[in-house]
Amino acid sequence: LIGSPPGYIGYSEGGQLTEQIYKKPHTVILFDEIEKAHPDIYNIMLQILDEGRLTDTTGKLIDFTNTIILLTSNLGCPKNYDIYLKNKNYLSNLDLEQIKKNIKLNINNYFKPELLNRLTNILIFNPLNINNLLLIFDKFIQELKIKLNLNKININ
């Protein structure tokens, strides 16, 4: 992310992250499933979130003040929702609150407070319900119909 150490191939080049931000400082960066990252990434994240800048291995100072950083995580999310769906086919508000509470607990246990305190916001998304899934499904079916229609194939 910040470049190779001295003596390694590519030392004279910057890192993938730092070079991209140097070229395009107004950028959105997504770190997907951050909990699976190498533990050293958290030290880099602390530097970026605290100081707003990072020095790559070539000594170049990279400014992150105009960069939006998004971190995603699945910590605390249920593997399946069967325990919530006994004798019903929807998640109640009480179920959703319990899930959110479990997610927050897992996040607080996994990440260091120094990192959590530097985050602007933590958003917890509700699981998709059947109506959301039907809308998504319908959108993909409509796109498929258009592609098939271009090839003179119709489906009903």
Q: Could you read off the pLDDT of 61-118 as tens digits, one per residue?
A: 899 999 999 999 999 888 877 777 677 777 788 888 999 999 999 999 999 999 999 9
Angstrom distance (rounded) from CA 115 to CA 38: 15
Residue 124 has pLDDT above 80, yes or no: yes
Residue 119 has pLDDT above 80, yes or no: yes
Residue 15 has pLDDT above 90, yes or no: no
Q: Report the predicted TM-score, pTM, of the whole model to 2 decimal places.
A: 0.73
Domains, the chain, ordered by start: 16-128 (3.40.50.300), 129-156 (no CATH)
Helix, strand, or coil (residue 153): coil
HSE, side-chain direction, 13 A CA sphere, residue 49: 18
Q: pLDDT tens, 25-61? A: 999 999 999 999 888 889 889 989 988 988 887 788 8
In DSSP terms, 55 is beta-bridged to 61
Average pLDDT taken over every residue of the chain? 86
Angstrom distance (rounded) from CA 125 to CA 80: 15
Angstrom distance (rounded) from CA 125 to CA 111: 19
pLDDT band at 155 (very low <50, low <70, confident <90, very high): confident
